Amino acid sequence: MRQITKVTVVFLIAFLGMATKADNGSNGKYFEISKNIEIFTNLYKEINTYYVDDLDPAKLMRTGVDAMLESLDPYTNYISESEIEGFRYITEGKYNGIGAVIKKIDDYITITEPYDNCPAQKAGLKAGDVIKAIDGKTAKDKSSDDIMDFLKGFPGTEVELTIERPGTPGEMKVSLTRDEVKVPNVPYSSMVSDDIGYITLTTFTRDAGKNVGDALKELKSQNPNLKGVIFDLRGNGGGLLTEAVNVSNVFVAKGEMIVSTKGKVVDWDRSFKTLNKAIDKEIPLAVLIDKGSASASEIVCGVMQDLDRGVLIGQRSYGKGLVQNTRDVGYNSRVKMTTAKYYIPSGRCIQGVSYKDGEPFDIPDSLRAQFTTRNGRTVLDGGGVKPDLVLEQGSDASIVKSLLRGNVIFNYATQYALKNKEIGSVENFNFTDFSDFENYIATNNFEYQTKSEKVMEQLMKKAKEEKLLPSIEADIKAMQAKIKAEKNNDLANYKDAIINEIEKEIVSRYYYQKGKIQVRLKNDKEIKDAIDILRDKNKYEALLNGK
């Protein structure tokens, strides 16, 4: 046997100790574990010692660890010491840094959204500012993750940014003092009509249940004529399972079974009931969901559906019915791994069975098991939660996606903010100069490719490979010409959708995230549909009774 280092021996003993607890005396499995760890250790040692080029041992190991965990599911991940701050943000909704969203545009990182009342905003940084250097070191060609690592740090420490600001000649230096950045999980709640309230929850970080409850209490106290509440979980990717229970408890009574978890380690199986008196278990409730609603969001919306507590509106949710726990693996690093599946009150699990490229397969309804809600409605397991009222998703047009992906709308909003020091109130702001935007596009030579054009391009390439091009080339080119002619009308055809995106981006420059949410609500068809249902008692009751 090859000689193994002391560290490896200690690791083997510790690992086998854990395996013994988990596998209850399966000797054959122990041997396979010890054999493969020894092979891996020896392989790692030989490559580091004799490979022709110098290697970064940490990077090599990280590649192996990531590849191993990637074979399991998309949610089992290794969290290194340098990534702990990001993990803290996911679970607690806070981290130590400057408080800004950043994005790589061309060769440099650009600030796309400073958080209100955080170090970046207090220091005068604006959306559109390009980070040229950090503490005198160039930021060129650095990734967003690289820059974020530089910007995070202990509260009270300073960092100096060299900034290039559109409309301002030369570069400027800005000193910031890092601080703890708290990102609210309930960034907005208000009335969206005379009698209907609105609460949005963006993530299930710590105190999510308390914050949703406080928002509902405030709506009730300030609006005695409140007849219903819209609870927005669209795009909410989840978070802490315990907060899913607490959020559900805002709307359902004490003692209700919310979720149970079942996994390999039976001792870890748990059931979660509501522990407190509901804030309001009677008020009509409309829950908005979409394909971005996942995990803890699906627990809450699934509970509301299973208990017939509220009407679900929108598109089918993502389909993540897995529970993750973190384990310390030494040197201030952790592994976040899937340890169980969760089951909601009807007994169903909404997990997609298989994954492709990190996404769950869309499971046909015919292959999904049937369960019943408290009122006897039929609901299905697997592949997400289907809304009670399914609505078509908003514009998914190629031109809108291309304008966003190419940062055209972002850059236009930057220029707009340079020319306009204020825009008045969010409620009264409307973008009306669409011709100016069209001129901006023309001046900057904006080009994009539709899905149809991509298909025609692939068809042309395939026909050439199969030597069919001479006979069908004229037909393909004729179709391409027709597609191009239709594409020329896209700006006019999708004008409303484009203006909506422009308004959100412009308003965010003056009123930050809260303003962006207010604009979205103003132009949101799903909000209007939810208001109509909450006002129509007969329709609301019919949906809850499956009629």
Which of these is catalytic: 189, 295, 317, 508? 295
| DSSP label of 81 | G
DSSP string, 502-528: HHHHHHHHHHHHHHHHHHHHHT-HHHH
What is the C-alpha separation between 56 and 62, in angstroms, rounded?
10
Question: Is the separation of the CB atoms in 428 and 511 below 8 Å?
Answer: no
Which of these is catalytic: 73, 306, 308, 524? 306
DSSP string, 63-98: HHHHHHHHTT-TT-EEE-GGGHHHHHHHHHSEEEE-
For 392, the 3-state DSSP assignment is coil
- Within 13 Å, how many C-alpha atoms sit on residue 218's CB side? 13
Supply the pLDDT for residue 436: 96
Supply the pLDDT for residue 44: 87
What is the C-alpha separation between 122 and 99, in angstroms, rounded?
10
Looking only at the bridges linking them, the beta strands covering 108-114 and 100-105 are: antiparallel
Q: Which CATH class is domain 94-182?
A: mainly beta
What is the C-alpha separation between 547 and 541, in angstroms, rounded?
9
What is the C-alpha separation between 162 and 173, in angstroms, rounded?
4
DSSP string, 110-124: EEEEEPTTSHHHHTT
Which residues are registered as beta bridge partners of 288? 232, 313
Kindly state the tokens that stand for 197.
């309230």
Give catalytic status of residue 189 as yes or no. Answer: no
Buried b (16+ CB within 10 A) or exposed e, 36-47: ebeeebeeebee
- Which CATH entry fits the domain spanning 188-393: 3.40.50.150, 3.40.228.10, 3.90.226.10, 3.40.50.970? 3.90.226.10
Sign of CA dihedral 273, 279, 285, 291: negative
Supply φ then ψ for residue 4, to 5 degrees: -115, 140
In 308-401, the DSSP E strands lie at 311-314, 322-330, 333-343, 355-356, 359-360, 370-372, 378-380, 389-390
pTM for this model (two decimals): 0.80
| DSSP label of 386 | P
Question: Which among 532, 520, 512, 541 is positioned nearest to 125, based on CA atoms?
Answer: 512
Kindly state the tokens that stand for 133.
């250097």
Please enumerate in sequence order all residues whose Cβ is within 8 A of that of 262, keeping only pairs 6 or more positions apart, or say none. Answer: 269, 340, 341, 343
What is the C-alpha separation between 435 and 412, in angstroms, rounded?
13
Sign of CA dihedral 204, 207, 213, 218: negative
Supply the pLDDT for residue 54: 87
| DSSP label of 356 | E
Looking only at the bridges linking them, the beta strands covering 179-182 and 94-97 are: antiparallel
Question: Is the separation of the CB atoms in 209 and 278 below 8 Å?
Answer: no
Kindly state the tokens that stand for 121.
């905003």
What is the C-alpha separation between 162 and 204, in angstroms, rounded?
35
Question: Is the separation of the CB atoms in 385 and 302 below 8 Å?
Answer: yes
Supply φ then ψ for residue 34, to 5 degrees: -65, -40
Give catalytic status of residue 295 as yes or no. Answer: yes
CA distance from start to end of the chain: 71
Which of these is catalytic: 132, 142, 320, 504? 320
In 81-178, the DSSP E strands lie at 94-97, 100-105, 108-114, 130-134, 137-138, 158-164, 171-177
Supply φ then ψ for residue 439, to 5 degrees: -65, -40
For 198, the 3-state DSSP assignment is strand
Give catalytic status of residue 54 as yes or no. Answer: no
Calculate helix-pair angle for 408-419, 434-443, nearest 10 degrees: 120
Question: Which among 112, 229, 181, 219 is positioned nearest to 516, based on CA atoms?
Answer: 112
Mean pLDDT for back-to-back runs of 10 residues, the chain (547 residues): 42 47 58 86 87 86 86 79 62 78 94 94 96 95 88 91 94 94 93 97 95 98 96 94 96 97 90 97 97 94 98 94 83 84 94 62 78 95 92 81 93 95 94 95 87 88 90 90 85 92 96 93 93 96 89
Token match 């422009």: residue? Answer: 502
What is the C-alpha separation between 203 and 91, in angstroms, rounded?
9
